[in-house]
């Protein structure tokens, strides 16, 4: 993917909506790839998973029973959240407290599915995610688990980024700097996916969603492949 070709395609979208929705399982490379795609396309960027993690952190630190759906839903409405929407900077703040690193701790990773599968909480966070897309004039790369089907089913480009379980476990281990053992990694990747799949399907592409399997691709090649998909989809318009 040459920058010249990319710029030519982008020139056709100036002043027009361009939402790139990217879904996928844990460890598929969604965040890093989506962030770079947003940078290359000069778009805003939203990590919706960070929003669920922030809510989980808020619930855990507030002593909220995660099995109490009504309490978790209320917490979602009460959450004072500030999350970065640029690929050039990463921050997550809850009521002014920087929780960017804290939401990646194992205790939050282990608890996030309980929050993410609470339907009332999902409804509130989806409302906020849609509001952020509109705030950025529908020019944003949005990544998560239900973006292509629920949050932004009308996105100009919809993509499912996936990879083999082996590749996903390896990548997540590298991302965490070897701080977790095999069992902890499996819990983060495969078990969390199994829990989350009870409320949203992010393992199979819905109609109109293009699948990108990155199992045999490195980061740069995955980004290039994603940009090729964007270009091809936009060229059909």
- What are the phi and psi torsion angles at 21 (to 5°)? -100, 125
In terms of Cα–Cα distance, which of 232, 219, 236 is closest to 6? 232
Number of other CB atoms surrounding residue 19 within 10 Å: 21
DSSP 28: S
| 151, containing H or E segment | none
Is residue 72 predicted with pLDDT exceeding 90? yes
- What are the phi and psi torsion angles at 40 (to 5°)? -70, -30
pTM equals 0.87
Rounded to the nearest integer, the mean pLDDT of the chain is 88
Give the model's pLDDT for residue 182. 56
The C-alpha angle 111, 64, 133, rounded to 5 degrees, equals: 65
Contact predicate 207/154, CB 8 Å: no
Only one residue has tokens 């920058």, namely: 3
Write the CATH number for 219: 3.40.50.300
How many percent of the chain have pLDDT more than 70? 84
pLDDT tens digit string along 159-200?
999 988 777 777 665 454 444 555 665 656 666 665 665 556
- What are the phi and psi torsion angles at 62 (to 5°)? -90, -5
Number of domains comprising the chain: 1
Rounded CA separation 43/118 (Å): 30
| Contact residues for 124 (Cβ-Cβ < 8 A; gap 6+) | 73, 76, 77
Is residue 80 predicted with pLDDT exceeding 70? yes
Mean pLDDT is lowest, of 36-40, 61-65, 88-92, 194-198, for: 194-198
User: Residue 200 is part of which domain span?
Assistant: 3-236
Give the model's pLDDT for residue 146. 92
Residue 14 pLDDT level (bands cut at 50, 70, 90): confident
How many percent of the chain have pLDDT more than 90? 68
| 35, containing H or E segment | helix 30-41
pLDDT tens digit string along 97-151?
999 999 999 899 889 999 999 999 999 999 999 999 999 999 999 999 999 999 9
Is residue 13 predicted with pLDDT exceeding 50? yes
Contact predicate 116/66, CB 8 Å: no
Report the chain's C-alpha Rg in angstroms.
Answer: 17
Residue predicted with more confidence, 123 or 204: 123
Contact predicate 198/113, CB 8 Å: no
Is residue 67 predicted with pLDDT exceeding 70? yes
Give the model's pLDDT for residue 177. 47
Give the model's pLDDT for residue 183. 60
Contact predicate 39/3, CB 8 Å: no
Token readout for 34 is 């989506």
CA-to-CA separations, 82 to 85, 107, 122, 127, in angstroms, rounded = 9, 21, 17, 15
């Amino acid at each position: 993917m040459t920058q010249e070709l990319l710029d030519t395609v982008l020139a056709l979208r100036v002043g027009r909506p361009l939402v790139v929705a990217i879904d996928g399982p844990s460890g598929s490379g969604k965040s890093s790839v989506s962030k770079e795609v947003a940078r290359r396309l000069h778009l805003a960027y939203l990590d919706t998973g960070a929003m669920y993690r922030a809510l989980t952190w808020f619930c855990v630190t507030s002593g909220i029973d995660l099995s109490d759906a009504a309490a978790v839903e209320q917490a979602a409405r009460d959450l004072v959240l500030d999350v970065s929407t640029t690929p050039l900077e990463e921050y997550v703040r809850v009521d002014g407290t920087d929780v960017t690193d804290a939401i990646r701790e194992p205790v939050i990773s282990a608890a996030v599915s309980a929050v993410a599968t609470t339907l009332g909480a999902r409804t509130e966070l989806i409302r906020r995610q849609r509001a952020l897309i509109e705030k950025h004039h529908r020019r944003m790369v949005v990544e998560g688990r239900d973006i292509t089907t629920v949050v932004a089913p009308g996105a100009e480009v919809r993509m499912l980024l996936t990879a083999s379980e082996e590749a996903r476990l390896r990548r997540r281990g590298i991302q965490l700097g070897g701080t977790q053992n095999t069992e902890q990694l499996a819990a983060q990747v495969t078990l969390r996916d199994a829990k989350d799949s009870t409320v949203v399907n992010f393992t199979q592409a819905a109609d109109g969603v293009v699948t990108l399997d990155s199992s045999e691709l490195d980061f740069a090649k995955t980004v290039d492949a994603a940009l090729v998909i964007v270009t091809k989809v936009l060229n059909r318009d």
